[in-house]
Chain A
Amino acid sequence: MMKLLKTLMLAAMLCLQCMTAHAAIDAALLKPLAGDDPDARIEAVNAIAALASDEALTLLAALKNDNLYADPQGKVFIIANDQAFDPATGKTVTMPENVDGITANNRLRGAIDDALSALALLSPDPAQRLNSALALQKNAVAAQIPLINKALARESDPQIKDMLRLAAARANLEAPDAATRQAAVSALADSSNANLKPLLGRMLDKNPDGSYIEPDEAVRGEAARTISRINARLARTEFIGNLFYGVSLGSVLLLAALGLAITFGLMGIINMAHGELLMIGAYTTYLCQLFFRQYFPGAVDAYLLVALPAAFIVTAAVGVLLERTVIRHLYGRPLETLLATWGISLMLMQAVRTTFGAQNVEVANPSWMSGGVTVMGSLVLSYNRIAIIFFSLFVVATVWLILNKTRLGLFLRAVTQNRRMAGCVGVSTARVDMMTFGLGSGIAGLGGVALSQLGNVGPDLGQSYIIDSFMVVVLGGVGQLAGTVIAAFGLGELNKFLEPSVGAVIAKIMILVLIIVFIQKRPQGLFAMKGRSAE
């Protein structure tokens, strides 16, 4: 707003310079401004704005900035910087005597602001023209048609031109001529503006006496067609929006659950502290950001690149430590592992709380990840979500490569399939266990980096993901990477498509219930491990 105002002032100044040469505003339009009739003054402001000339802009800006004065005869002057202009002639004049400032009340100021923002259509700055066109598209009225047409004639940017056409069409909805109305209605069919629906819908309504509000049959038919096209477009936008947010949620779930898919899925360890490993990853990101702000303020955006390996190393180290000190002693006793790791999670949470405080810490997106791309007119896909979707796919691919193409992966699969036999042929099973747990924990750390870019980073971060993560792994089928991926994206989509109709909380509850029911039907999850086992 301030920026807009500044540019307007600048424009006004520029105009002041060239004013002397230009034609002026009719004195008859100016006169009511000096009077006391509030309606006449607003009418005058609108009429002046409709001139859509630079002089009009100057005058309105002056009125807004209290630079407009009137002498006792009702003649209006713009006085600024100890210079006086007569807007009626467009000439600099000698400083008039006995002038009084013209004050604008709030209602008048509102009218001035609207007029000025519409006049921004003529601004040299394309961003301002875009904003103004966007606003007009929502609320253009018939009186603004000359202004819009004038702007259309000048406009070179195709995007703004399209918007202006829509705005003109909207303003033309109330045109007296049926053909113009029909053309306007059909032009609006390309709009994705939901606000138009009631306006068009009203055209199809009847007056109390039974006659249609819109007298022309053809216009009514066109309006019905336009409404259905707008509806279809809105539905499509909503669908694509849900699809995108579902994929985004799925990628978050995937990153949260992928580490668990390794520690729980492959090793069978119930790690209740998994959520806290995510949290530690997020806090490592925070520390990297602090470090860069302190020592490399010029390259703050690079902190994320350092945070990824740092988070992996830190959480992998924590994981290895846990495996060596606690979990190792509980192999084969899954329920005890569950309790012990829950204890670990409590301690980690409290440790973070005492170190960093109980409040959330602030992790900012690097500048290249903030903002978003607008598609289909109204849907904004934010860059951080897009980046995380690709990141999650990258991590899955890496994990797949590690499991299937490296020596560690080979050993890991061997130990999973037959621990004793693997030990017999010389695989150090204890070492493989440690490495695997470290890998799963490290991946949780990477997930934490991603989570820090989307939401709050606080000591309780992990708690909100632990149940979801387990659900994803259990639903996907233990020991199956593909199952985890499909379960994560499936749950994400399901959640986002349920949300609009039942609300976020009920959607979540429904999904939990669905999973519980599903597991009863298929205890082995979506993808079962092939093989025979007594249990």
Chain B
Amino acid sequence: MSTSLFSRPAWIGIVVCTTVLALLPLLNLEFPADHALHISSYTVALIGKYMCYAMAALALDLVWGYTGILSLGHGAFFALGGYAHGMYLMRAIGRDGVYQSHLPDFMVFLDWKAYPWYWSFTDNFWYCMALVVLVPGLLAFAFGFFAFRSRIKGVYFSIITQAMTFAFMLLFFRNDTGFGGNNGFTDFKRVLGFTITDAGTKAALYMVTLMFLLGALLLCRWIVTSKLGRVLQAVRDSESRLMFIGYNPLWFKLFVWTLSAVLCGIAGALYVPQVGIINPGEMSPGNSIEMVIWAAVGGRGTLLGPIIGAFSVNGLKSWFTAAFPDLWLFALGLLFILVTLFMPQGLLGLVKKLRRNQQTEEVA
């Protein structure tokens, strides 16, 4: 079990999917627009966005599917990672903003004369990358430490995580908080000196995202198949029994919770330059719950499922909002209900069940 992370068919699937995904931006760059093999920039950008969502869903699955902690506040970690990267991207605009000031446009607009203290050093890319990891990580650590220590679990934990992301949303909506208020960060010009609208830059960002997604998948898989992973599943299945055996679940939960927040923050940081905007709307409670449904649709506790779920739900969303914009919320609502009622194990669970039925038929 521990020698191989995935079964042979799963490995084949992962390699094939990764190759296909990696080829998309190349097809976009190499072939002219009218060629049959050309992939439009729009599609590439869309898939890049989905990969960020998939990474967030993966992070959520690690805590929900394996440890039984349902977070309704991962949107906050996602957005905080995004804002941390966004600070660098705002600084990288330089004097090319509308007001041609060394300050971002929104600060000029507020008549601020200098950067507030928490913006110090953010012109350094690597410092901001450290923030991407540290801010969601430390927040999750502190939040989780107090919550898990008082043994808050189940729906209570879910509700207070929702309150957390709601509080962050209110905070970031304020203009005086210093993160652009309602509009957030946008109009990025360059990242590490490369023009952000360049096809090449976009392809590079896409590839980096793909690599991070793959890395996150392998890391999570390694964790859940290790001994640590067994303890986490024991927390999910019967925390009291685990405590009676002599484990202290606090540190296990705290570790996986913090790691999940960090992964989510990284996903947010990859998301921002590709989408070109980050605003407090990302922290709305609805967004966080939508992440949960990605994991639920694909099948929680499977790691691959949430990735499939994020792709399929968002694919559906892109199609619906273009074709029948008024019906999307009906469809999403129905999805929530149907999945919880009829597909508690998600798409992967359905596949497994079908295969099992087939096998029992063959035996019979």
Contacts and interface: CB of A to CB of B under 8 A. Distances in A.
B126 interface: no
A329 B341 contact: yes
B330 interface: yes
B46 interface: no
Nearest to B147: A520
A81 interface: no
B230 interface: no
A268 to B, nearest CB: 8
Contact of A339 (B156, B159, B336): B336
A523 B330 CA distance: 36
Interface string A324-354: 0010011001111111101111110111011
Given A336-B344, A338-B155, A508 B170 contact: yes
Interface string B151-191: 11011101110111011001101100000000000000000
Contact of B160 (A333, A334, A339, A516): A516
Given A346-B333, A467-B163, A515-B163, 7 more contacts: A335-B70, A336-B340, A344-B337, A509-B170, A516-B160, A520-B149, A520-B152
Contacts of B143: 516
A519 interface: yes
Given A338-B70, A343-B334, A519 B160 contact: yes
B250 to A, nearest CB: 13
Contacts, number: 116
Nearest to A467: B166
Contacts of A474: 156, 159-160
Interface string A69-90: 0000000000000000000000
B329 interface: yes
Interface residues of A, number: 43
Interface stretch (B18-26, B208-216, B285-293): B285-293
A270 interface: yes
B293 A339 contact: yes
30 contacts: A270-B158, A326-B341, A338-B158, A339-B292, A339-B296, A339-B339, A342-B289, A343-B335, A343-B336, A343-B337, A345-B333, A346-B330, A346-B332, A347-B329, A347-B334, A349-B329, A350-B330, A463-B286, A474-B156, A474-B160, A509-B170, A509-B171, A512-B163, A512-B164, A513-B167, A515-B163, A519-B150, A520-B146, A523-B151, A523-B152
Top 7 closest A-B pairs, CB basis?
Answer: A343-B336, A347-B333, A346-B333, A350-B329, A512-B167, A343-B333, A340-B340
A470 B164 CA distance: 13
A342 to B, nearest CB: 5
B351 to A, nearest CB: 20
B43 interface: no
A91 B119 CA distance: 80
A345 B329 CA distance: 10
Contact of A340 (B152, B326, B332, B336): B336
A529 interface: no
Nearest to A508: B170
Nearest to A337: B340
A450 B297 CA distance: 38
A516 B164 contact: yes
Interface of B: 70, 72, 143, 146-147, 149-152, 154-156, 158-160, 162-164, 166-167, 170-171, 173-174, 240, 285-286, 289, 292-293, 296, 326, 329-330, 332-337, 339-341, 344
B171 A470 contact: no
A521 B151 CA distance: 10
A471 B329 contact: no
Contacts of A534: 240
Contacts of A344: 333, 336-337
A249 B146 CA distance: 30
A535 interface: yes
Interface string A399-420: 0000000000000000000000
A517 interface: yes
Contact of A512 (B166, B292, B336): B166
A505 interface: yes
A63 to B, nearest CB: 46
A334 B153 CA distance: 12
A525 to B, nearest CB: 10
